[in-house]
């Protein structure tokens, strides 16, 4: 081989080595957020885009003090970051399959996450240290909700049950078996006395969180239900699903107050913390904010590139974090 050819070969190897090192550094770098706006706050304006997740964002939630955000993904992780700057804090990697549900404890000290591996894992929200693994379900765990007093978790599963269990011991306290198909969503009443659960059987069922006694079954939907949320005062519930409707109804009578027909089905729903607005995560790539009395659209957010799967209001009710099939979480000004 000539000297010239050897030099070319050495140069090629050097370039290849540099490229490999660069790729390694990029893959090991912590997730980052893209700041979009530093201007005065405008409704519907994106503040930043968090791009740390490698697959669709299945669940997102603010810490109770509003200082951190956690997001679960089909990439099997939960990532936690600073809510103001988007700076990545740590990644929880305890699951062996896609994570599709998460919930912060009311005191912000712990996070519960669950998914296709059939487990619910409770872990330290600051360090990521696992505290407890709940193994009561026999199929995918699709929904989680922490009781307002922080002592219990309700988990809904494709095994058709909702299980209420002690967060310190993992002991099952109630197993609710009222559903005839997958349970996709569960929510505690603000006073912690009643649970609302719903799913593929097209019913929303309200039942006693201690005894499991059924109080009311809402039959307003004609397709599977994807999400429910209580009003802050506990007097109403909003439910939505594949039937392309958002329905608000009275929890004592089951009487519908208003129904809005959407352009596509809705994946997630969230009532603003102080009342007044309902936000919906839509398959048509938007998030709609509606007046909770009239159903009239107050704002439509169009920042995502594909369907929006999950939404969460900040505790002060001014911002929304929305996650979607575009692998991003977008934090934006809501009101």
> With contact defined as beta carbons under 8 Å apart, do 94 and 121 qualify?
yes
pLDDT in tens, 95-128: 999 999 999 999 999 999 999 999 999 999 999 9
Question: Which residue in this structure is represented by tokens 């929304």?
Answer: 320
For the cut 50, the answer to whether the pLDDT of residue 314 exceeds it is yes
What global pTM score does this model have? Answer: 0.89
Name, in order, each residue with C-beta under 8 angstroms of 128's C-beta and a sequence gap of 6 or more: 80, 90, 91, 92
Q: Containing H/E element for 88?
A: strand 88-92
How much helix, strand and coil, in percent to the nearest 5, is found in the chain? Answer: 10, 45, 45
DSSP 8-state symbol, 202: S
Strands 287-291 and 297-301: what pairing?
antiparallel
C-alpha torsion sign, points 43, 45, 47, 48: positive
Closest of 333, 332, 335, 327 to residue 55, by C-alpha: 327
Cα 126 from chain centroid (whole Å): 19
Mean pLDDT over each residue of the chain, to the nearest integer: 91
Residue 88: pLDDT band (50, 70, 90) is very high
Give the DSSP letter string of 90-115. Answer: EEE---SS-EEEEEE-TTSSEEEEEE
pLDDT tens digit sequence for 159-205: 999 999 999 999 999 999 999 999 999 999 999 999 999 999 999 99
| Residue extents of the structural domains in the chain | 1-30, 32-333
Q: How far is residue 227's CA from residue 186's CA, in Å, rounded to a whole number? A: 8
pLDDT band at 6 (very low <50, low <70, confident <90, very high): very low
Residue 134 and residue 13: Cα distance in Å, rounded? 51
The residue written with tokens 């995918």 in the block is 140
In angstroms, what CA-CA distances link 34 with 55, 252, 281?
Answer: 17, 45, 22
DSSP 276: S
3 pLDDT tier (thresholds 50, 70, 90): very low
User: What is the percentage of the chain residues whose pLDDT exceeds 70?
Assistant: 89
> For 41, which DSSP code?
P
- Strand ranges across the sheet with 287-291: 266-271, 277-282, 287-291, 297-301
pLDDT band at 40 (very low <50, low <70, confident <90, very high): low
Detail the DSSP E strand segments found in 200-276: 204-208, 214-218, 225-230, 236-241, 245-250, 256-261, 266-271
Q: CA-CA distance, 246 to 187, in Å (whole number)?
A: 16
Domain 32-333 has CATH 2.130.10.10: yes
Whole-number Cα distances in Å, 199 to 42, 125, 244, 313: 36, 29, 15, 23
Model pLDDT, residue 30: 56
Closest CA to 61 of 330, 332, 310: 310
DSSP category for residue 254:
-
Asked if the model's pLDDT at residue 55 lies above 60, the reply is yes
Cα–Cα–Cα angle for 249, 255, 260, rounded to 5 degrees: 50
Dist. CA 88–CA 90, nearest whole Å: 6
């Amino acid at each position: 081989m000539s000297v010239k050819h050897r030099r070319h070969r050495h140069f090629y190897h050097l370039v290849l080595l540099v490229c490999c090192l660069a790729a390694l550094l990029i893959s090991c770098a912590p997730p980052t957020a893209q700041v979009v706006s530093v201007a005065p706050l405008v409704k519907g304006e994106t503040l930043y885009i968090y791009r740390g997740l490698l697959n669709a964002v299945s669940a997102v939630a603010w810490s109770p003090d509003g200082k951190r955000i956690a997001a679960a993904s089909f990439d099997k992780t939960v990532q936690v970051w600073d809510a103001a700057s988007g700076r990545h804090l740590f990644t929880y990697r305890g699951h062996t399959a896609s994570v599709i549900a998460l919930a912060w404890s009311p005191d912000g000290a712990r996070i519960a996450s669950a998914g296709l591996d059939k487990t619910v894992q409770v872990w330290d929200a600051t360090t990521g240290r696992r505290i407890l693994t709940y193994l009561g379900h026999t199929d995918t765990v699709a929904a989680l909700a922490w009781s307002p007093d922080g002592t219990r978790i309700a988990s809904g599963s494709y095994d058709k049950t909702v299980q209420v269990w002690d967060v310190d011991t993992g002991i099952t306290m109630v197993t609710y078996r009222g559903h005839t198909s997958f349970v996709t969503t569960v929510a505690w009443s603000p006073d912690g006395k009643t649970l609302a659960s719903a799913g593929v059987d097209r019913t929303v069922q309200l039942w006693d969180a201690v005894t499991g006694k059924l109080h009311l079954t809402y039959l307003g939907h004609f397709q599977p239900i994807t999400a429910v949320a209580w009003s802050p005062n506990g007097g109403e519930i909003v439910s939505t699903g594949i039937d392309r409707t958002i329905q608000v109804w009275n929890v004592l009578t089951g009487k519908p107050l208003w129904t809005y027909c959407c352009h596509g089905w809705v994946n997630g729903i969230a009532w603003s913390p102080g009342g007044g607005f309902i936000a919906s995560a839509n398959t048509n790539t938007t998030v709609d904010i509606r007046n909770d009395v009239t159903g009239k659209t107050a704002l439509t957010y169009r920042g995502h590139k594909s369907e929006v799967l999950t939404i969460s209001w900040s505790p002060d009710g001014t911002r929304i974090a929305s996650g979607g099939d575009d692998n991003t979480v977008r934090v934006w000004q809501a009101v």
